[in-house]
Chains A and B, each alone.
Chain A
Amino acid sequence: MSQTKEVHNLSLKAYKDVFDSLYASLCIFAKSYVNNLDIAKDLVQDVFIKVWEDKIAFKNELAVKSYLYTSVKNRALDYLKSKRYKETDHMSVIELDVLNKESFYLKEVVIEEASSRIEEAINTLPNKCAQIIRLSIKEYSNNEIATHLEISVNTVKAQKKIAYKRLRPLLKDYFVFIAFVFNFSD
């Protein structure tokens, strides 16, 4: 892994920045395992405490994300196997098998990362544009959006154009990689 255990100068400020940008996402991600938001929050906070107490340093943002998602997943799975959980709730072996799969983990990361990405992008748009794009993501057609918002179809199209224009700098980087292939390795 790319994090190293060593004494470092992780300031509280930098630590808080990581918390601010990833805490909500990690909680929602953890909830997909434990199905309870309060427990999800506890698990994520435990992981954050460990990062601080163990003075874990990271090479870059990717390493931060990779470490935090993995740790939260492991903690969630541990929790589901714990006595504490089994006393109040239970999960079938089959359900637990699904959650244990690597592909479940990656799927949940993709969903959360894409969701927060979309939200972030929409939040940069003016109100009307944002409203239209939100509906468009929910697979509303231009006609349906027009009816829903009581505006003309042409306004919808014009607003979409404005939205794409404004989002372009945010979006263009990722199309270059469309054809990438996954590498499996240890």
Chain B
Amino acid sequence: MINFNKIILLSKQIAASLLKDEKVESLEPLDLFSQEEKDNILKRLTDNTEIESRLQSKIEIDKKKDWESLKSKLHVPKKTYYWQYATAASIALIVALTFLLNNNDDDYTEPVLVDTKIEIGTDKAVLTLADGTTVLLDSTNVYQGKNVKGNGKEVIYEIAEQNIDELEFNYLTVPRGGQYHVKLSDGTEVWLNSESQLKYPVSFIRGNPREVELVYGEAYFEVSKSSKHNGDAFTLKTNAQSLTVLGTIFNVKAYKDETEIITTLVEGSVSVSNTINEVILKPKQQSKLTQANNDFEIATVEVEDYISWHRGVFSFANKPLKDIMKVLSRWYDVGILIANEDMENIAFTGVLNKQQSIENILEIIKSTNNMNYKIENEYIIIE
């Protein structure tokens, strides 16, 4: 059997050569691999499509979710688990370091790299085309298709020359830690928040309502007026409600892990309905559909607090800490754990730029409230 150490070293050499833009020499003298296999190794590491497809798989791996599901299957004393985390962290760390660093192999000295740095969110999304192909859109990847163009910030659809008779759907999926902007073929603009998915036709059929679906998550819409489209209304579906407009600006929040759907109207008029009820919103009004009773509660709100995210600002007005943490966890893609339940409903008011580190934000909250926190792995623990 091959010494596994050599395989790891070989991997590192190849990585180093590619990073330095040098010829990969380490593979050539090996009789371990056939020429075909050697070619395959290099192709998989340098070919655009291959790199994309690996990245796509990585995006589809939800480490946190899978960890939770794995953890639930392990026999661990669950009740004390987080307290172990919080109180015996130093011991755990020593054990972890011993475990990872206790290294007796002669020429191999590197510990498992666990990146604990929490990154600020960026513009990124995955575009799924009608044939199922997926394209990663971020600062380093551009996409150009028929009537569609995607870059580091946004994807733009152009109006098809001819009317079509069958709808073709695309999906735009924004992961945690991401945000993205899309301009649909009718001119409607949508800003998608972290952990959101939008389903929409590449082109709309003239004479039919323009139907778009917020599969999950949060989005801010500036709908192109119906008068520009021979009166064709614009309909937005989410799993539990439907919304019809004739050209307006609004925000819908419908996260999978939240029990309510919140629709905030900025401008114009919308009709929001489910199978039982229907309400009409006026500007500055907000409807809240709770899963519990199927009713729409209507309130007048400070609109800015609900839509500022699409301009890169968090605006919290007297918001409970647990809600704030939910917002932060999506943008910074971190886990949040409120170890001290008394802290959950402590309210905070403030306007914060999204382009700053999460430590900064936590420090600001900490300075105005009696809150303590620490960051461990990719978890923020509120104590």
Contacts and interface: CB of A to CB of B under 8 A. Distances in A.
B63 A23 contact: yes
Nearest to A69: B4
B61 A24 contact: yes
Given A12-B81, A13-B95, A137-B46, A60 B139 contact: no
Contacts of B4: 62, 65-66, 69
A147 interface: no
B84 A12 contact: yes
Contact of B18 (A12, A16, A137): A137
Nearest to B56: A37
B174 to A, nearest CB: 19
B102 interface: yes
Size range of the interface on B?
A: 35 or more
Contacts of B299: none
Interface stretch (B20-28, B208-216, B218-226, B342-350): B20-28
B21 A136 contact: yes
Interface in A82-115: 102-104, 106-107, 109-111, 113-115
A113 B66 contact: no
Interface stretch (B34-42, B255-263, B272-280): B34-42
Interface in A131-154: 131, 133-139
A31 to B, nearest CB: 6
Interface string A19-51: 111111001100100000100010001001100
Contacts of B107: 177
A56 interface: no
Nearest to A41: B66
Nearest to B8: A113
Interface stretch (B67-75, B233-241, B304-312, B321-329): B67-75
B45 to A, nearest CB: 6
B57 A37 contact: yes
Given A59-B104, A133-B19, A137-B18, A114 B12 contact: yes
A117 interface: yes
A49 B37 contact: no
B351 interface: no
B112 interface: yes
B204 to A, nearest CB: 33
Contact of B66 (A45, A53, A133): A45
